[in-house]
Amino acid sequence: MPDMPSADLSALIGLLDLAGIAVFALTGALLAAQLRQTFVTMAFFALVTGVGGGSVRDLLIGAPVFWVRDPWVAPVCLGVALVAWFTPHRWWERPVLEWADAAGLGAYAVLGTAKALAFGVTPVPAVLMGVITGCVGGIIRDVLAGRPSILMRPELYVTAAALSAGVCAAGAALGMDKGIVWPVAALAGFALRGAAIWWKLGLPVYTSGERER
């Protein structure tokens, strides 16, 4: 099956990119709001959360840092911060934000993997780049806020990003149509993260060697 035309492919990349950025920026802005911070802090949290993972990915694969050259990314992050500042907090209760974050996680993990592959990164490191793209912004956000990051919790989050990234890389290795593989990969990660939210699923924690009391 032939790939999508280049114009459609670029449009899909742009859509996934801005969607992931906006959702992650919103989580950063809302965390600053919960901490009763100023708008400046809220905007900074939105920007760092939205672009953190993609920035680390670009530095690692030797690509120009995407948001420095893209005229839309910073305004989207600042616009999201403005929305969070002027809207009631009840609009963004935890279930809504968690499900939006799940959607952004899948989309951003796919985007990071696809970009790494496009820069000649081999499949396994490309999958890791997808995980970094999806997760590092949230880790930076949590560290700045002084709370345990997602890496320190057993819930399925990084695993969901890895699933999206893995499906994306596998589809590329098999030569499948990106227009099919990318949405399926994003939906796979979203579904796993959604299952974790709904059923409170998590990974087992290390217990080997503990003494019985």
- For residues 117-146, average pLDDT: 95
pLDDT band at residue 135, thresholds of 50, 70 and 90?
A: very high
Residue 1 has pLDDT above 50, yes or no: no
pLDDT band at residue 92, thresholds of 50, 70 and 90?
A: confident
**pLDDT averaged over the chain?**
89
Residue 44 has pLDDT above 90, yes or no: yes
pLDDT of residue 12: 64
Can you tell me whether residue 51 is helix, strand or coil? Answer: helix
Can you tell me whether residue 112 is helix, strand or coil? Answer: helix
pLDDT of residue 6: 60
Which sequence spans correspond to the domains of the chain? Answer: 6-199
Residue 20 has pLDDT above 80, yes or no: no
Sign of CA dihedral 53, 55, 58, 61: negative
- For residues 46-58, average pLDDT: 95
The structure's pTM equals 0.90
- pLDDT 10s digits, 140-156: 999 999 988 888 888 89
For residue 121, what are the CA distances in angstroms to 77, 83, 112, 130, 166?
28, 37, 11, 11, 14
141 Cβ partners below 8 Å, 6+ apart?
A: 27, 28, 31, 45, 48, 49, 52
Q: What is the DSSP string of 173-213?
A: HTT--HHHHHHHHHHHHHHHHHHHHHHT-BPPPP-TTPPP-
Residue 2 has pLDDT above 70, yes or no: no
pLDDT of residue 9: 63
pLDDT band at residue 112, thresholds of 50, 70 and 90?
A: very high
Backbone phi, then psi, for 175, in 5-degree steps?
70, 30
Residue 11 backbone zone (phi > 0: left; psi -120 to 50: alpha; other: beta): alpha
104 Cβ partners below 8 Å, 6+ apart?
A: 19, 20, 22, 23, 24
pLDDT of residue 153: 83
- For residues 116-139, average pLDDT: 95
pLDDT of residue 149: 87
Closest CA to 112 of 171, 174, 165: 165
156 Cβ partners below 8 Å, 6+ apart?
A: 192, 193, 195, 196, 201, 202, 203
- pLDDT 10s digits, 163-187: 999 999 999 999 999 889 998 999 9
